[in-house]
Amino acid sequence: MSSRSDGRSAAQLRSITFQAGIAPHATGSVLVAFGATRVICSAMIEPKVPSWMRQQGVKGGWLTAEYSMLPYSTLERKPRDISKGKLDGRTVEIQRLIGRSLRAVVDLQKLGDNTLWVDCDVLQADGGTRTASITGAYLATRLAVQRLLDDRKLAENPLADSVAAVSVGLCDGQALLDLNYIEDKDAEVDANVVMTGRGQFVEVQSSGEESTFSPEQLQSLLALAQTGLKELSALQTAFLTKHLLGR
């Protein structure tokens, strides 16, 4: 019998759902749910590049991401960063991770002199907000790219692969996939793993929480993450087949 708080097996993802078109004014948008964690991911094109690219003569376009947790996304109200006058360190870390993850599968030269803005807004947080954001942000980006191709604002698809992310961790010595908040809070070791659809690592973030872990434990966590990421990639493909090929 499972000892996990939500009854899942150790190697089982939470219920994963994607809803397209959640933000009608965005070029592409998806509401992604990993269990009780829900994030609105959107993508919009801006017909210019950052000033540093122009100053340095860098050719092609750019992709950047912003991440936020809405005040009502947690049990206790979370103040908006703007009310503090600056982004907190966690916000900066996560939005940079989302941007890196997407740029790993985007040919920026094919974007032309455009910036693709990706926004991830957490509606409800129950662990894994960054991994849900990356997984949903790819889908929002793919939907946006298709619309831009259809409108002939892009000459060719800049996406070379898909990308998704999942968390894993050690709780009471057991390797668990896709941690919810209770598991993430109590884990001795946790990791966030980002991979492409073709199985290439983009980033691995792993740390012990007042604990250490062996090379063998790290390998078991990575293997568990890969299992979950294959399933996530298949879910992404099914979603895109429905919303792109099924039009």
104-154 pLDDT tens trace: 999 999 999 999 999 999 999 999 999 999 999 999 999 999 999 999 999
**Arithmetic mean of pLDDT, 222-228:** 98
The full set of domains in the chain, from first to last, is 16-245 (3.30.230.70)
pTM equals 0.94
Residue 117 CB coordination number (10 Å) = 18
Residue in the structure block whose two tokens are 């793919």: 142
Are 29 and 40 spatial neighbours (Cβ–Cβ below 8 Å)?
A: yes
* pLDDT (tens digit per residue) in 15-72: 999 999 999 999 999 999 999 999 999 999 999 999 999 889 899 999 999 999 998 8
Type and span of the H or E element at 169: strand 163-171
DSSP label at 2? -
**pLDDT band, residue 209 (cuts 50/70/90):** confident
Rounded Cα distance, 172 and 92, in Å? 31
Are 28 and 140 spatial neighbours (Cβ–Cβ below 8 Å)?
A: yes
